[in-house]
Homo-oligomer: A and B are copies of this chain.
Amino acid sequence: MTTTAKTPPSTALRPPIAGRTAIVAGNGQLPVAVAESLRKLGDNPLIVAIKGEAEPELYAGEHAEISIVELGGLVKILKAEGISNVVLAGGIRHRPEFRAALRPGNGNLVALYRFLRAFRLGDDGLLRAVIATIESYGFRVLGAHEIVPDILAPAPGTLTRKRADQESVANMHAARQAAIMIGSLDIGQAAIAIGRRVVALEGVEGTDAMLQRVAELRHAKRINRKGGVLVKCAKPQQEVRADLPAIGVSTVENAVKAGLKGIAIEARRTLILGYGETVAAADKAGLFIETFEQEPS
């Protein structure tokens, strides 16, 4: 008999990870959570903060800072600091103009180009190439969830007091189909369905901006049907060591503003940043959060 965790996941710490770990930190709370988790394990992670992206609090500990157009220098930093493991965590809001960065004399251009696209830029093939490149230098690339396993969405079930009603289940199906489809084309990882119709698809703007758009469409009476569901799921071809879809308290807050009834995320391939706070925020607002299994395609 196998056991699955539908209830709040265990907070037990994982065994320490061999060797020192570098967190290449984009924006958001994920790099912070990874750093905290490693420190609890007694590790002293090196933060490699991406300028203009990483949270200010990450600069409190031992850190290096690189600009997104200087990422070619990352390997040098990793070597100098005796790093064994690398975690790519967080998003990149400010997407660089590659042409400008790829001027002659910029050194290690291929690695640079690959790195530039490693985060949320979403090109899975390239992301795999980046990871392969880092590993070719002898580093081990880990997914954030390998360090903070409690961060992964649990097995299929309901995380909140509220459950999805029949209409919401229909919305989930519609949005999930769309989210998987745009994921398969490597465009985005989220969709919103209201009244059993998909009304918004995630592109570069990200989930919070998409939720705000739906809030505005409701305000302008462009959407008058009640309810609705946000679905986030991994791409069918997802590289699980980077760019896993994530939700957190802000997702719940924006879903409330958008008038949605709930959030459905893929079990085990979605991150919940701050499980307790996120579920508590949903419970307080009367939203449901459910997890689902991605069906084999």
Q: Which of A12-20, A74-82, A178-186 contacts the other chain?
A: A178-186
A284 within 8 A of B: no
Contact: A94 with B203, CB < 8 Å? no
Q: Which of A40-48, A57-65, A144-152, A192-200 contacts the other chain?
A: A192-200
Given A205-B200, A205-B217, A213-B205, also A224-B97 (CB < 8 A):
yes
In the assembled complex, how far is the CB of residue A112 from the closest CB belonging to chain B, in whole angstroms?
15
Contact: A204 with B181, CB < 8 Å? no
In the assembled complex, how far is the CB of residue A28 from the closest CB belonging to chain B, in whole angstroms?
14
Q: Considering residues A123, A195, A198, A226, which has the most beta carbons from chain B within 10 angstroms of its beta carbon?
A: A198
In the assembled complex, how far is the CB of residue A209 from the closest CB belonging to chain B, in whole angstroms?
8
Contacting A217 at CB < 8 Å: which of B186, B195, B204, B223?
Answer: B204
Q: Which residues of B contact A209 (CB under 8 A)?
A: 213
- Chain B residue nearest to A96 in the complex (CB): B224
Q: Mark A113-136, 1 if CB is under 8 A from B, else 0.
A: 000000001110000000000000
Contacting A98 at CB < 8 Å: which of B123, B181, B195?
Answer: B195
- Chain B residue nearest to A122 in the complex (CB): B197
A187 within 8 A of B: yes
The number of chain A residues touching the other chain, given as a range, is 35 or more
One complex includes copies of this chain to the number of: 2
Contacting A199 at CB < 8 Å: which of B97, B185, B204, B220?
Answer: B204
Complex CA gap A98/B195 in Å reads: 9
Q: Which residues of B contact A181 (CB under 8 A)?
A: 181-182, 185
Contact: B205 with A97, CB < 8 Å? no
Complex CA gap A224/B204 in Å reads: 12
In the assembled complex, how far is the CB of residue A19 from the closest CB belonging to chain B, in whole angstroms?
35
A177 within 8 A of B: yes
Of the A-B pairs whose beta carbons lie under 8 Å apart in the complex, a sample of 13, sorted by A's number, is A97-B225, A97-B226, A99-B225, A121-B197, A122-B197, A178-B187, A181-B182, A182-B182, A188-B201, A192-B203, A199-B203, A200-B205, A205-B217
Q: A98-B225, A198-B203 are in contact. List 13 more A-B contacts (CB 8 A).
A: A93-B222, A98-B195, A123-B197, A177-B185, A178-B182, A186-B197, A192-B203, A200-B203, A200-B205, A201-B201, A201-B203, A205-B222, A213-B213
8 smallest CB-CB distances across A and B, nearest first, come from A97-B224, A201-B201, A200-B203, A199-B204, A187-B198, A94-B221, A199-B203, A95-B224
